[in-house]
Amino acid sequence: MIQEFKTFIARGNVIDLAVGIIIGAAFTGIVNSLVVDLINPLLGLMTGGIDFTDKYIVLSGTVADGASLDAARSSGAAIFAYGSFAMAVLNFLIVAWAVFMLVKGVNRLQRAAIRKEEAAETPAAGPTQEELLAQIRDLLADRTSMA
């Protein structure tokens, strides 16, 4: 069982997966900063200063008017945090778009590399049938003129 585990860990896929997870975790910080520092202020500017992350509806319980989302959550009231959810969806869409663009770029590079390999592997085209027949004719003409 230990040998199987070593074989499993030594595979390239596991290493690639680990690298992907580490880069994904670092990428999350970039996306969060993009949303919080760049997109939210623009949305707030377009909507008259409204910050969507703190938008919620109290379903049951009591929350002081104008309380932040964190204060509403800590009060024990049941809340419907639609603003926080909207920002999570926006984060997801940004990450999905970035990953899509990354995969699209990598696929384009792979296709270009495959085309180069195929072009290098394709043997040079030989003479056509007509060219071969013309060469044979010329060789026969040379033989008859020598005799």
Residues 6+ apart with CB under 8 A from 91: 31, 32, 35
**Which letter does DSSP use for residue 60 in this model?**
E
CA distance 24 to 46: 31
pLDDT 10s per residue in the chain (147 long)? Answer: 888 877 777 776 777 788 888 888 888 888 778 877 887 788 778 877 766 778 888 888 888 888 888 888 888 889 999 988 988 888 788 878 877 888 898 889 989 888 888 777 766 677 888 988 999 988 888 887 776
CA distance 141 to 130: 16
- 3-state SS, residue 123: coil
CA distance 43 to 90: 12
Residues 6+ apart with CB under 8 A from 35: 87, 90, 91, 94
In Å, how far from its chain's centre is CA 9?
25
CA distance 54 to 5: 47
Strand pairing category for 78-80 and 57-60: antiparallel
As given in the structure block, the two tokens for residue 83 are 């603003």
Is pTM beyond 0.85? Reply is no
